[in-house]
């Protein structure tokens, strides 16, 4: 190409993203991003750029780029911000399938050598990384997880939007507990006590009786003193609630819902799943029907496992499952397992008793495979005015704060059901992570409020 034409081609190059380089093969594009890594070998420089959509390796030979561009790139520091022009070349060996022949480079901010980006390509401890979470999220693995999280949230809303559910947003500041008083975060509300919501459920029940099929989707809070790999103090919950739905209907909904979300991720985040090295053969089989077990059957299985020495602790009938129990149970199936009809005593005040045997609640927990445990908790709701009032008293809940909720049983009460799904638990499972702290941009845990 004559020099003039080449220059003109560079000036008219379109701005592109790394994820869409395939649409520009053989042509020059402009990328805006950061230098992730640089390998130098004499006259050849191999920068790796990132732009939030992915990473791409560039190639710059001393003879193929203007001298000032070669100089600017040589020794350039990690995370310096750049605008780079280059020609897209298909390369089978490259992670995204393409490489970039660097033609031009503009450094927006050069990270000084004296104060380098703290997260290098070598291994760092978890504490070190968590303290620098605002920078850690730039690394390929962490940004892939956040992109998968976004897809999970998108699909989680989309399923309901295309199936006739109306999104209704419950308040975050609430006068009373939904999931028991022991894990409430108190707030001073102009001198009166208020709490950060543990679940939007009670409000979703009200909007379901107004609109039929609804869902809420927002942050929820639990002042849990647990340091497990499954607990955050602030997490996102999506909660459908449906008038005239029973427990069987709820389980059908749950299995279709989870399958839809997993397959959306498989379809739309294949590159990110590859980046994090996820074994797709564990996600492909996620499809209805999911196995359904009564609590009593699950307990039998746990007892057998204990006898065989697969579980350390014996399981005491009547308890809620502990983490090791859930882990063991959920490892027995290649898809999520739905455990239903727990003893009413271990479950929440709002759960409808089973008319066939009122010692059991019409509830379900969905346990994700590979040992991830509970991702969904839900139930049919008490619909009788008398029983609800009685339960509120038994649980020593402040009746005044629940008057509005009791009203729902005074005026046109109907059977209804709903569940809550914790987004971070689902992200941890889908991404096969050790801990929920990597599933949200800025995790809040017992020990951490910074950054
Ligand atoms: O089982 P939970 O406590 O159920 C409820 O809150 C119901 N009111 C929901 C409803 O029926 N609308 O919580 C629901 C889900 C759990 O299955 C889990 O996925 C997630 O929320 N979850 C947590 N996730 C992260 N950290 C925590 N501390 C969590 N607690 C619950
Ligand atoms: Mg639960």
Residue (of 106, 107, 86) closest to 21 by Cα position: 86
Judgement on whether residues 424 and 308 belong to the same structural domain of the protein: yes
Confirm or reject: Cβ of 376 under 6 Å from ligand 1. yes
* Spatial distance between the Cα atoms of 158 and 160, rounded to a whole number of angstroms: 5
Residue (of 203, 209, 241) closest to 402 by Cα position: 203
pLDDT classification of 323: cutoffs 50, 70, 90: confident
Last residue of a domain, one of 62, 94, 109: 109
**pLDDT on residue 367:** 97
DSSP letters, 257-288, are HHHHHHHHHHHH-HHHHHHTT--GGGTTT--S
Position 293 in a domain: yes
Ligand 1 centroid vs 246 CA: distance in angstroms? 20
Ligand 2 centroid vs 336 CA: distance in angstroms? 15
User: Which residue's C-alpha comes closest to atom 27 of ligand 1?
Assistant: 231
Backbone φ, ψ for residue 300 (5° rounding): -55, -45
Judgement on whether residues 262 and 386 belong to the same structural domain of the protein: yes
What separation in angstroms does the CA of 173 have from each of 80, 254, 283, 342, 432? 42, 28, 37, 30, 33
Position 394 in a domain: yes
Confirm or reject: Cβ of 373 under 6 Å from ligand 1. no
Residue 166, CA atoms < 13 Å, CB-side half-sphere:
13
* Spatial distance between the Cα atoms of 287 and 384, rounded to a whole number of angstroms: 35
Segment 255-284 shows an average pLDDT of 98
CB atoms within 10 A of CB 402: 20
pTM: 0.96
Residue 191, SS3 per DSSP: coil
Confirm or reject: Cβ of 381 under 6 Å from ligand 1. no
Last residue of a domain, one of 109, 124, 153: 109
pLDDT digits (tens, 9 = 90+) for 351-370: 999 999 999 999 999 999 99
Confirm or reject: Cβ of 133 under 6 Å from ligand 1. no
Judgement on whether residues 96 and 142 belong to the same structural domain of the protein: no
Ligand index nearest the alpha carbon of residue 423: 1
**pLDDT on residue 10:** 76
Question: How many domains is the chain partitioned into structurally?
Answer: 2
Position 147 in a domain: yes
Judgement on whether residues 96 and 147 belong to the same structural domain of the protein: no
Judgement on whether residues 177 and 324 belong to the same structural domain of the protein: yes
Full residue range of the structural domain in which residue 46 is found: 3-109
**CA triplet 130, 134, 137: central angle to 5 degrees?**
85
**pLDDT on residue 226:** 87
Judgement on whether residues 270 and 218 belong to the same structural domain of the protein: yes
Please check whether residue 172 is in contact with residue 218, taking contact to mean a CB–CB distance below 8 angstroms: yes
pLDDT digits (tens, 9 = 90+) for 217-254: 999 999 999 888 999 999 999 999 999 999 999 999 99
The answer on pLDDT for 1 being more than 60 is no
Which among 420, 421, 437, 447 is the best mutation to test ligand 1's pocket, defined by most ligand atoms within 8 Å of the CB? 420
Ligand 2 centroid vs 193 CA: distance in angstroms? 26
Confirm or reject: Cβ of 336 under 6 Å from ligand 1. no
* Spatial distance between the Cα atoms of 264 and 176, rounded to a whole number of angstroms: 36
Judgement on whether residues 62 and 190 belong to the same structural domain of the protein: no
Position 126 in a domain: no
DSSP letters, 377-423, are EEEEB---HHHHHHHHHHTT--HHHHHHHHHHHHSS---EEEEEEEH
Ligand 1 atom nearest the C-alpha of 204 is: 12
pLDDT classification of 409: cutoffs 50, 70, 90: very high
Ligand 1 centroid vs 167 CA: distance in angstroms? 19
pLDDT digits (tens, 9 = 90+) for 125-150: 999 999 999 999 999 999 999 999 99
* Spatial distance between the Cα atoms of 334 and 370, rounded to a whole number of angstroms: 8
Position 444 in a domain: no
Position 328 in a domain: yes
What separation in angstroms does the CA of 301 have from each of 179, 305, 335? 28, 6, 17
Backbone φ, ψ for residue 207 (5° rounding): -75, -25
**pLDDT on residue 275:** 95
Last residue of a domain, one of 93, 109, 125: 109
Judgement on whether residues 65 and 144 belong to the same structural domain of the protein: no
**pLDDT on residue 11:** 77
Judgement on whether residues 105 and 142 belong to the same structural domain of the protein: no
* Spatial distance between the Cα atoms of 375 and 385, rounded to a whole number of angstroms: 30
pLDDT classification of 5: cutoffs 50, 70, 90: low
Judgement on whether residues 149 and 66 belong to the same structural domain of the protein: no
Ligand 1 atom nearest the C-alpha of 423 is: 19
Position 115 in a domain: no
Which are the contacts of 315, defined by CB distance < 8 A and separation ≥ 6?
A: 299, 302, 303, 306, 321, 325
Residue (of 294, 278, 386) closest to 341 by Cα position: 294
Ligand 1 atom nearest the C-alpha of 426 is: 19
CATH of the domain at 218: 3.30.930.10
Ligand 2 centroid vs 177 CA: distance in angstroms? 15
Ligand 1 centroid vs 305 CA: distance in angstroms? 27
Judgement on whether residues 101 and 151 belong to the same structural domain of the protein: no
Judgement on whether residues 197 and 57 belong to the same structural domain of the protein: no
Taking the CA atoms of residue 263, residue 265, residue 268 and residue 272 in that order, the dihedral angle to the nearest 10 degrees is -140
Position 9 in a domain: yes
The answer on pLDDT for 95 being more than 90 is no
In the beta sheet, which residues pair with residue 196? 173, 185
């Amino acid at each position: 190409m004559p020099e003039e034409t080449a220059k003109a081609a560079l000036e008219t190059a379109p701005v592109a993203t790394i994820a869409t380089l395939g649409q520009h093969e053989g042509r020059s594009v402009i990328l805006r991003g950061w230098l992730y890594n640089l390998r130098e070998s004499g006259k050849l420089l191999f920068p790796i750029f990132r732009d939030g959509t992915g990473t791409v390796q560039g190639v710059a030979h001393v003879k193929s780029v203007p001298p000032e561009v070669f100089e600017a790139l040589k020794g350039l520091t990690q995370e310096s911000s750049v605008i780079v022009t280059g020609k897209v070349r298909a390369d089978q060996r490259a992670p995204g399938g393409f490489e970039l022949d660097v033609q031009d480079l503009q450094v927006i901010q050069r990270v000084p050598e004296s104060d380098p980006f703290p997260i290098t390509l070598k291994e760092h401890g978890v504490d070190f990384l968590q303290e620098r979470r605002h920078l850690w999220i730039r690394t390929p693995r962490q940004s892939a997880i956040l992109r998968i999280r976004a897809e999970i949230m998108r699909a989680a809303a989309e399923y309901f939007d295309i199936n006739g559910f109306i999104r209704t947003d419950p308040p975050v500041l609430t006068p009373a507990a939904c999931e028991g008083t022991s894990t409430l975060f108190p707030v001073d509300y102009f001198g009166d006590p208020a709490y950060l919501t543990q679940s939007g459920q009670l409000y979703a029940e009200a909007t379901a009786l107004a609109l039929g099929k609804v869902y809420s989707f927002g942050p929820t809070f639990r002042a849990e003193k647990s340091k497990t790999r499954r607990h955050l103090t602030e997490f996102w919950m999506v909660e459908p609630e449906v008038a005239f739905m029973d427990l069987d209907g709820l389980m059908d909904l749950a299995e279709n819902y989870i399958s839809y979300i997993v397959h959306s991720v498989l379809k739309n985040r294949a590159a990110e799943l590859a980046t994090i090295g996820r074994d797709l053969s564990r996600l492909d089989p996620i499809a209805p029907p999911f196995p359904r077990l009564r609590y009593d059957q699950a307990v039998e299985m746990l007892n057998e496992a204990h006898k065989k020495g697969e579980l350390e602790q014996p399981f005491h009938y009547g308890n809620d499952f502990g983490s090791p129990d859930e882990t063991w149970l959920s490892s027995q199936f290649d898809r999520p397992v739905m455990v239903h009809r727990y003893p009413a005593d271990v479950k929440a005040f709002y759960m409808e008793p089973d008319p066939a045997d009122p010692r059991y609640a019409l509830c379900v927990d969905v346990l994700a495979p590979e040992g991830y445990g509970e991702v969904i908790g839900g139930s049919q709701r008490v619909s009788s005015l008398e029983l609800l009032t009685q339960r509120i008293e038994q649980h020593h809940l402040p009746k005044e704060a629940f008057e509005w909720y009791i009203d729902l049983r005074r005026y046109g009460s109907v059977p209804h059901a709903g569940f809550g799904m914790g987004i971070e638990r689902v992200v941890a499972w889908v991404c096969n992570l050790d801990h929920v702290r990597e599933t949200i941009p800025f995790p809040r845990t017992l020990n951490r409020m910074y950054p």
